[in-house]
Amino acid sequence: MRRVQQLPHLGLLLFFLISSQRCKTSEVYEQNQLQDLSSLLNTLVHSHYTNGVQAASALLSLRLVGIQRQQLQQKLTQEVIEDVRSKGPDLSSGQLAWTIMALGACRNPDESFIRDFHLVQHLEEKFQEEIRNMETHNGNPLTNYYQLSQDVLALCLFSGNYLTTEIAHFFTPENKNYYFGGQFSVDTGAMAVLALTCVKRSIINQQIKTDQSVTQSIDSHIGILVKKILSEKKNNDLLGNIYSTGEAVQALLVSSSYYKENEWNYQRTLDAVHKEISQGAFKIPMAAAQILPALMGKTYLDVNKDSPCPGTSSNLNVSIPESGPVSPPPPSSLITVHYSVKVNKTDSTTVTVRNGSVFLDVMEKAQEHNKTIFGFTMKETSWGPYITSVQGLKANSNERTYWEILSGGIPLSQGVGSYVVHDGEYLEIRWSKY
């Protein structure tokens, strides 16, 4: 029998949080849905965080939904702070934005670190670097529009400086940076809606002043982006793909005046997400962290640096099993996978890997066979390994180039470190433009 750890106060917390959402969902969560939530929390509690951005995302979500586990939060906070101290200027603008939001999600001792290390001022500078790069490189940011939206959101929430005229100009829905491989990026659009909504609220509350024309432009941008998000709603009620749905839900929760009630049903989307959780989705800490607020009806706009962290006190506990198999896994079998690299021409090979291997394992095995053709480099990101070059050809944000991973000719929504390959599968990594 595997050992069980206790997560203090989670039982009553889930009860209160779920009850508070009845007006939106009109249904009480079933026992399997409670298990799904526990599964997400188990991922966040027991994961090994390989970088500060993963830890920041987990910390932010736990604080947003009111899970106060002091030892865990201290551990995550320390990892985030050490990441800032060690990387400093090397953090991207989006990584810095996540850090500020996580440490300042509610009134707590961590806010002194934000102030003492001038993190908001550094984000202001990084945001302007993004703007300057767009002005000199055909509208392309240093990172991407998802991170650019994170920057605006964090600056808005933490009283940073930005120009509303720049926001209105660069965040027009027709901007090419909302598209990836010709497809509208739902999570990018959703993060932009959250950022623009925050800016709009600041204008309405007279925290910032701007021209009426700018306000109207921002309002129009939100409406069009919301329609684009809804246009990506699938037959199973997911928005985009399973990993973009969490932030899309947040965007729709804060923009209900921009669509009709019959255009989107919150509960049906939640049911679809719960189905995906029960089938093993969201095992990556970043994915679990990003879907949790949406399941609880929370959004990043609920970040409030001036109020205490939400939470509840109770003597009730709920048991969360440690991650790991109940019994020893069966002996590994071998599978055969076809793998190709496509630039101007296609180079292919067939490799044998263990059953349960991921895309990255196939790439490493192919590299062992021929490093000239299949050699690659990668870097660790909050979502796991990201391929930076193959055959020495490097991805470049200014040229909008990247390495796309596919199965059977269809782009994958999971990364090379998480997509589990299958026997006889045809995998490809392709030099592409977005």
Q: How high is the pLDDT of residue 286?
A: 86
Q: How high is the pLDDT of residue 45?
A: 84
Q: Which residue has the higher pLDDT, 41 or 3?
A: 41
Average pLDDT (11-21) is: 50
Q: How high is the pLDDT of residue 309?
A: 78
Mean pLDDT, the chain, integer: 86
Q: How high is the pLDDT of residue 392?
A: 94
Q: CB 129: neighbour CB atoms within 10 A?
A: 14
Q: Is residue 7 within 8 Å of residue 318, measured between CB atoms?
A: yes
User: Bridge-partner residues for 402, per DSSP?
Assistant: 432
d(Cα 271, Cα 9) in Å, to the nearest integer? 25
Residue 5 has pLDDT above 60, yes or no: no
Strand segments (E) across 266-419: 317-321, 334-342, 346-354, 376-381, 384-390, 393-394, 401-407, 410-411
Q: Which residue has the higher pLDDT, 9 or 397?
A: 397
| Cα 111 to the center of its chain, rounded Å | 23
Least confident of 11-20, 46-55, 220-229, 373-382: 11-20
Task: Please give the full DSSP string across 118-179, using - where no structure is assigned.
Answer: THHHHHHHHHHHHHHHHHHTTT--SS-HHHHHHHHHHHHHTT----HHHHHHHT-TT-GGGE
Q: What is the pTM of this model?
A: 0.78
Domain with CATH 1.50.10.20 in the chain: 4-321
Q: How high is the pLDDT of residue 17?
A: 52
By CB neighbour count within 10 A (0-12 exposed, 13-18 middle, 19+ buried), where does 26 fall? exposed
With left for phi above 0 and alpha for psi between -120 and 50, is residue 113 left, alpha or beta?
A: alpha
Task: Give the pairing of strands 393-394 and 401-407.
Answer: unpaired
CATH of 4-321, one of 3.40.50.2000, 1.10.260.40, 3.20.20.80, 1.50.10.20: 1.50.10.20
Residue 9 has pLDDT above 90, yes or no: no
334-433, CATH topology level: Ferric Hydroxamate Uptake Protein; Chain A, domain 1 (2.170.130)
Q: How high is the pLDDT of residue 319?
A: 42
d(Cα 75, Cα 56) in Å, to the nearest integer? 11
Average pLDDT (198-224) is: 96
- pLDDT confidence tier of residue 14, bands split at 50, 70 and 90: low
Domain with CATH 2.170.130.30 in the chain: 334-433
Q: Is residue 341 within 8 Å of residue 406, measured between CB atoms?
A: no
Q: Which residue has the higher pLDDT, 3 or 229?
A: 229
Q: How high is the pLDDT of residue 311?
A: 66
Q: Which two tokens stand for residue 384?
A: 């796991």
pLDDT in tens, 176-208: 999 987 889 999 999 999 999 999 999 999 989
Q: Which long-range contacts (CB under 8 A, 24 or more apart) does 220-225 make?
A: 221/168, 221/171, 221/172, 221/173, 221/192, 221/196, 222/193, 222/196, 222/197, 222/255, 222/258, 223/258, 224/173, 225/173, 225/178, 225/189, 225/192, 225/193, 225/196, 225/251
Q: Which residue has the higher pLDDT, 378 or 251?
A: 251
Residue 22 has pLDDT above 60, yes or no: no
Q: Count how many Cα atoms sit within 13 Å of the Cα of residue 374 in the half-sphere of its side chain.
A: 21
Q: Which two tokens stand for residue 332?
A: 């590994």
What sign has the CA pseudo-torsion 252, 253, 259, 260?
A: positive
pLDDT in tens, 36-91: 888 898 888 888 887 788 899 999 999 999 887 888 889 999 999 999 999 888 89
Q: How high is the pLDDT of residue 328?
A: 43
Average pLDDT (306-310) is: 81
Residue 161 has pLDDT above 90, yes or no: yes
- pLDDT confidence tier of residue 35, bands split at 50, 70 and 90: confident
